[in-house]
Chain A
Amino acid sequence: MSEYSRRVQVTINAREHEIDCEPRQSLLELLRDGLQLTGSKEGCNDGNCGACAVILEGKCVLSCCVLAVEVDGAIIETIEGLSDGLELHPLQSAFLQETALQCGYCTPGLIMAAKDLLSHEPNPSESRIRHWLANNLCRCTGYDRIIKAVKKAGETIAASHE
């Protein structure tokens, strides 16, 4: 750590962390290198693939484009915090059941982006899902099954609230 490093306090997946960060480090680096929360992926490091998406203060952000020192005091959710132990979140189950992943590298980012959508709009149309996820690249699947998985997860979540 250099002389410029700053102490950052952050709550990630309901656990508090304190960690020294350099001003040039991104939130993605804080998560991956600093805390070894490697579920968030780096695909481009410049905001163009969505593999690093996490939820910051209730909103989906690209963690490669957020500086680590900016998240001091913030609450963050990452893919690692989504399931309840081994009990999968409806999005995780739907991705599995709908075969919405091949290599799985884009999956954490897509699931986090979709979670943000579903938390505001539990029943989005197919076109709405496509537009919402347009910032998340997947090179393997052609997206069809991803869209279906998100739709299905939305229905599951809605049903569980009834």
Chain B
Amino acid sequence: MSEPNNRRPYRVLGTTPLREDGVEKVMGQARFADDVFLPRMLHAAVVRSPHAHAKIRKISTHKATAMPGVFAVLTGSDFPTLEPTILSHSDASTTDDLKDISENCMARDRVLYDGHVVAAVAALSRHVAQQAAEAIDVEYEILAPILDIEEALNEETPALHEDFTPGQFVLQTKKASANASGFEMNIGEDQDAFSTAEVVVEKRYRTRCVHQGYIEPHAVTVQWGSDGIMTVWTCTQGHFAIREQLSIVLQHPLSKIKVIPTEVGGGFGGKDLIYVEPAAALLAKKTGCPVKMVMSRAETLRGTGPSPGAVINVRLASDKKGTLLAADLELLYEAGAYPGGPVGSAGLAATSRYKISNQTIRGVEVLLNKPKMKQYRAPGGVPVNFAVESTIDILASKVGIDPLDFRLKNAMAEGDRMVTGLPCPKIGGRELLEAVRDHSHYRTPLSGPRQGRGMAYALWFGAGKTSSVSMTVHGDGSVLLNVGTPDLSGTRLTLSMQAAEVLGIDVAEVSARVLDTDSIAFSYKTVASRTTHSTGIAVYQAANNALREMARRAAVYWDIEESSVAITRGSFSDLGNPSRCLSFFELAKLLEKLGGPITVYGNASPGSNGCQLAAHLVDVEVEVDTGKINLLRYTAFQDAGNAIHPDYVSGQMQGGAAQGVGWALNEAYFYSEDGKLLNTSLLDYRMPTAVDLPDIETVILETPNPNHPFGVRGVGEVPIMPPAGAIANALYNAAGIRMTELPMSPGTVLEKIKENID
């Protein structure tokens, strides 16, 4: 890993301390959701539809109910009926219609995808619950499923829903046809940009549905007290979101639901929506016992929210010197069974790293008989980045410019107009591309035949949103930092580091916790690369509030005006008598006598988290007789704003790149003709293993984000975007074949190689 450039004079930030919670994790003591065991706890299992589309005629539960060890059975009729459209109280938990979410959790009169839940059982053990679930008879009237985008858009195809609330994730869509809703963004006045441009490239791309692939399946335990207070233990990216969704779907007051976040075994955008939680809650209510429900891997693949497949049309125009003049994009994304997929965020990020004065971006999301699609790390960003970055390379070669120079020439910079119409904020795009150009990887010649080098470039927006923290300075000088954003990868440490930086103390003196929904003020989810950034701002505020309060106590102690106390790097002195000075610890030890320990708060709602930028450079070798692509060398470049913990930034870059490589080369949902998911195990849904990936070298740049006190930018999402485009471009340079579909699995590559020879 290359160290970040221009390290600024921080004491704690930029160092690489060990995480406090790491010890429990390497010792096997960390408590994940499935590790919750309560007295009298029952286990739940669900019945899932084997059909992609069917009416439910009848559900017979009596056999299951009669089985020994079975405590309760639940079907859709046990769920409260909701108004036709019921949105979240704010966009706090989801932008989806909660009526859809309720039906997604438990089908009512019809099932809309293979794996849709139809009934649930609570029993003494998981085995008994599963047996009982198998004993539930469901009579279906099978309907024709809609399985691909073109079919769903065909006017002859019947509507999946009589009516629906159009998706509004990031951008509001409007109903466009029976099974589709969309948006359009335009900038630029030049109607003739394409007809007058010297070079135009148009290409159509297709990608498949993939899963986030977190290794920990969804798990939840619910206790429903006789006082009506529901306690929920679950692995989630947003416990406040889960609380609100449960509240609306079960029509139960927010004040009577407490969600306790456990450790989370990976989320990547897939763990902030309820699936089996309401069923577990209703079974807990019915039985008076705590109920645990753990999904199997097959259930996780079939019945949660994967990332949509897409069809993307890209048209780009430039002049003969290689200046981009116009872009016209059509993004057709699967929504799955209910609206609300990530086509809006894909649209925003489609071209927003290049300066293009005339643009039209149309996004359409399409309802079909697959699971309700969800966010996955840079939601929607991978398919469109693959499409645009491939087209950029084609265009560059037509113009006759090196693809890196082409990107540099057209890189968006501060003040340029983005497709939203807004000016681009301060970003380090050119610097990033220059870093690629100046890196030894870029300049080292390839070493053999059938090898090629390719790159791709990406920008992602992320989000700001609300974070709340509280902080206590104890009488022994130790500091407790409580936050409301779940920690997926080490954010307790990156937040503690920011606290320690402000307080002027060692990071080991700060102990951070993620508190439940009763114990800390509202916080938005850990999504959109926001926690180190946005919760970081709240921590910065809280730490400054703590220092101010300590200064007030020092003033009391010295009997001087508060304004006469100077605070420098964690020590306090009397301006009028500089020889009077107390260190943070000396003052902390006096707190008991000066009014007790100090508890302060921080709350931030930044509008964004600065743009994240990444460029990836990859060398591939293609095996011409099998079509397999081997990655020989991989370097990821990223602008982190300020890398709080460079090892963690680098870890995010490597992890994101690894997921992007899986998406590019192997991963895809395979459906049978009647819409059953065929690859429901991790053997068949093949994610990269240690032998599939090379070392991923990382280069961190730092262009501070002006809207964060330490210059932090979001980091986690953007690195998943460039791998597919970079590999496709490298493959072209290696073998002269242009892949327009993901995944670029050996079979499809081989076919293309053969086509090329013929």
Contacts and interface: CB of A to CB of B under 8 A. Distances in A.
Interface of A: 22, 24-25, 32-33, 36-46, 48-49, 51, 78-80, 82-83, 88, 91-93, 95-97, 99, 101-108, 111, 129-131, 133-147
Given A101-B26, A102-B655, A139-B214, A46 B681 contact: yes
A92 to B, nearest CB: 4
A145 B265 CA distance: 18
Interface string B288-319: 00000010110000000000000000000000
At the interface, is chain A mostly helix, strand, loop or mixed?
A: loop
Given A44-B681, A141-B658, A142-B654, A133 B690 contact: yes
Interface stretch (B17-25, B277-285, B548-556): B17-25
A134 B216 contact: no
A104 B262 CA distance: 13
B27 A39 contact: yes
B682 A49 contact: yes
A107 B32 CA distance: 13
A111 B216 contact: no
Given A46-B297, A103-B265, A142-B657, A137 B215 contact: yes
B297 A79 contact: no
Interface stretch (B90-98, B109-117, B134-142, B691-699): B691-699
18 contacts: A43-B217, A44-B682, A46-B683, A49-B682, A79-B28, A95-B22, A96-B19, A102-B490, A103-B489, A133-B689, A139-B213, A140-B266, A142-B654, A142-B658, A142-B688, A143-B690, A144-B654, A147-B690
A42 B18 CA distance: 26
A134 to B, nearest CB: 4
A137 B689 contact: yes
A40 B30 CA distance: 11
A22 B127 contact: yes
A134 B686 CA distance: 12
Contacts of B22: 95-96, 101, 104
Contacts of B671: none
A79 B265 contact: no
B29 interface: yes
B34 interface: yes
Contacts of A111: 26
Given A80-B29, A102-B489, 8 more contacts: A32-B34, A42-B217, A44-B682, A49-B682, A96-B23, A108-B28, A142-B654, A142-B693
B651 A104 contact: no
Contacts of A105: 32, 214-216, 263, 265-266
A39 B24 CA distance: 10
A37 B681 CA distance: 25
Given A142-B658, A143-B658, A78 B263 contact: no
B215 to A, nearest CB: 4
A27 to B, nearest CB: 15
B2 interface: no
B37 interface: yes
Contacts of A104: 22, 25-26, 30, 263, 265
A22 B126 CA distance: 12
A50 to B, nearest CB: 9
Residue picked from A24, A32, A91, A96, most chain B C-beta under 10 Å? A96
A107 to B, nearest CB: 6
Contacts of B18: 96-97
Contacts of A102: 266, 488-490, 651, 655
Contacts of A147: 690
A80 B27 contact: yes
B215 A145 contact: no
B164 interface: no
Nearest to A42: B34
A105 to B, nearest CB: 3
Contact of B26 (A96, A138, A140, A145): A96
B405 interface: no
Given A92-B27, A111-B26, A133-B690, A139 B682 contact: no
A103 B488 contact: yes
A95 B651 CA distance: 13
A82 B27 CA distance: 7
Interface string B624-657: 0000000000000000000000011001001101
Residue picked from A93, A106, A130, A140, most chain B C-beta under 10 Å? A140
Nearest to A94: B26
B16 interface: yes
B215 A138 contact: yes
Nearest to B662: A139
A143 B215 contact: no
A113 B655 CA distance: 21
Contacts of A39: 27-29
Residue picked from B25, B29, B37, most chain A C-beta under 10 Å? B25
A141 B693 CA distance: 11
B264 interface: yes
Nearest to A43: B215
Contacts of B406: none
B651 A41 contact: no
A156 to B, nearest CB: 14
Interface in B24-69: 25-32, 34-35, 37
